[in-house]
Amino acid sequence: MMSFNHYGYNSLKNEQTNKRLRTADYDRESRTTNSSVSSYEDGRRKNAETQPNHILLLTITKVTYPINTDVIHTISKDHGNVLRIVIFRKRGVQAMVEYEEVEQAIKAKQLMDGADIYQGCCTLRVEYAKPSKLNVYKNDSETWDYTTPNPGEKKTAPLLPDPPRAPLISTRPTFPRFDFECRGGLLSTPHDLPNNNYGDSYPATPGRCVLMVYGLDPDKANCNRLFNLFCLYGNVVKIKFLKSKEGCAMVQMDNEMSVDRCMDNLNKLTLISGNVLQLQVSKQMYLSDIMVPYDLPDGTPSFKDYSNSKNNRYHSNSNGKNRRQTPSSVLHFFNAPPNISEADLSQTISKAVKDVDLKIIIKMFPPKGTEARSSSGLVEFTDMAIAVEVIMAVNHWPIKCETSKFPYLLRLCFSSLPKGIANAEMAQ
Give 121's DSSP letter.
E
Per residue in 151-160, pLDDT tens?
Answer: 766 656 666 7
**pLDDT at residue 184, rounded to an integer:** 54
The pLDDT score that the predictor gives to residue 379 is 93
Is 401 inside any structural domain?
A: yes
Section 131-159 average pLDDT: 81
pTM value > 0.75? no
202 in helix, strand or coil?
coil
For residues 360 and 295, membership in a common domain is answered with no
pLDDT at 6 over 90: no
82 and 116 in a single domain? The answer is yes
Mean pLDDT lowest among 42-56, 97-111, 309-323: 42-56
What's 85's domain CATH number? 3.30.70.330
Give me the pLDDT at residue 163, please: 63
How many distinct structural domains can be found in the chain?
Answer: 3
Q: Calculate Rg over the CA atoms of the chain.
A: 31
Q: Is the pLDDT of residue 173 over 80?
A: no
Per-residue confidence band for 206, with pLDDT thresholds at 50, 70 and 90: low
User: Does a structural domain hold residue 38?
Assistant: no
Out of 272, 305, 338, a domain closes at 305
For residues 79 and 112, membership in a common domain is answered with yes
CA atoms of 159 and 347, how far apart (whole Å): 73
Which residues 6+ apart lie within 8 Å of 165 measured at CB?
Answer: none
Position 184 in a domain: no
Q: Tell me if 87 sits within 8 A of 67, measured CB to CB.
A: yes
pLDDT of residue 237: 94
Residue 368 placed within a domain? yes
The answer to the question of residue 247 being in a domain is yes
Nearest to 215 by CA among 263, 269, 257: 269
- pLDDT value for 330: 93
Which residue, of 305, 338, 367, is where some domain finishes?
305
Taking Cα atoms as reference points, which of 265, 173, 175, 271 lies closest to residue 211?
Answer: 265
Domain edge (last residue) among 290, 305, 320:
305
Residue 90 within a domain? yes
93-103 residue pLDDT tens: 899 999 999 99
- Using the Cα atoms of residue 101, residue 105, residue 108 and residue 110 in order, give the sign of their dihedral: negative
pLDDT tier, 422 (very low <50, low <70, confident <90, very high otherwise): low
**What is the structure's pLDDT at 181?**
41
Query: Which residue segment(s) compose the domain that 96 sits in?
Result: 55-145
Asked, for residue 99, whether it belongs to a domain, the answer is: yes
What pLDDT score was predicted for residue 149?
Answer: 78
- Average pLDDT along the chain: 79
